[in-house]
Amino acid sequence: MLVSGGGTNLQALLDALQQSPRARVARVISSRPDAGALDRARRAAVPTTVLRDPADAAELLAALGDAELVVLAGYLKLIPGSVVSRFRGRMINIHPALLPDFGGPGMYGQRVHEAVIASGAKESGVTVHFVDEHFDRGPIIAQARVPVNKDDSAETLAARVMEAEHRLLPQVVLDLAGRIA
Ligand code: GRF
């Protein structure tokens, strides 16, 4: 699993996989040494790696080892092309909006929800997609929708989307793990 932030999606996955023999989180790899996700991994006794340089393909490939599925959750760095090629169809990302809208470089965190509200959209949601060479652009695997309420702030919308993320990501991972195994 690749992370840069607090790791609530990692936590949702760890919790869901506790009851499942179908998959396990083998390693948590962070682009930042201070990512809260690293503490969650350590508490769950999952090995961790902090990348020295996330643009270094060799370093990332070494950290990924023989992973069967690579999950990006809150990972903010672009994956080097050779790593994308090596894991094509086995590397997924979760994004807090309904792609192809509200994605791309710089579209992360509160900015996504601010943009959704500013657009007047009545719905937002979550997208899980395969990773390609571009931010938030690979083939879509699954989406979950949530309403945008008239009185939503970026914070209230983010909270609703986050709940949907924590349900959708474990579902997709278990589904894909069942197919890869
Ligand atoms: C999530 O909203 C995810 O969709 C996005 O970054 C956020 C990560 O949150 N890519 P967390 O680190 O899993 O709490």
Q: What is the pLDDT of residues 72-89, one digit of tens each?
A: 999 999 999 999 999 999
pLDDT digits (tens, 9 = 90+) for 117-166: 999 999 999 999 999 999 999 999 999 999 999 999 999 999 999 999 99
Q: Is 11 in the pocket of ligand 1 (CB under 6 A)?
A: no
Question: What is the atom index within ligand 1 of the atom nearest the CA of 6?
Answer: 12
How crowded is residue 174: how many other Cβ atoms within 10 Å of its Cβ?
A: 16
User: Strand pairing of 2-3 and 28-30?
Assistant: parallel
User: Strand pairing of 48-50 and 28-30?
Assistant: parallel
- 95 counts as catalytic: yes
Can you give the C-alpha Rg of the chain in angstroms?
16
Question: What is the atom index within ligand 1 of the atom nearest the CA of 161?
Answer: 2
Residue 175: which of 132, 139, 135, 128 has the closest Cα? 128
All residues at 6 or more sequence positions from 118 whose CB lies less than 8 Å from its CB, including other chains: none
**Which residue lies with its CA nearest to atom 11 of ligand 1?**
7
Has residue 43 got a pLDDT over 70? yes
**Which residue lies with its CA nearest to atom 2 of ligand 1?**
96
Ligand 1 centroid to 20 CA: how many Å? 23
Structure tokens given for 39: 């503490």
Report the interhelical angle of 154-180 vs 110-119 (nearest 10°). Answer: 110
pLDDT digits (tens, 9 = 90+) for 54-70: 999 999 999 999 999 99
Q: What is the pTM of this model?
A: 0.96
All residues at 6 or more sequence positions from 136 whose CB lies less than 8 Å from its CB, including other chains: 93, 95, 99, 100, 103, 104, 107, 127, 129
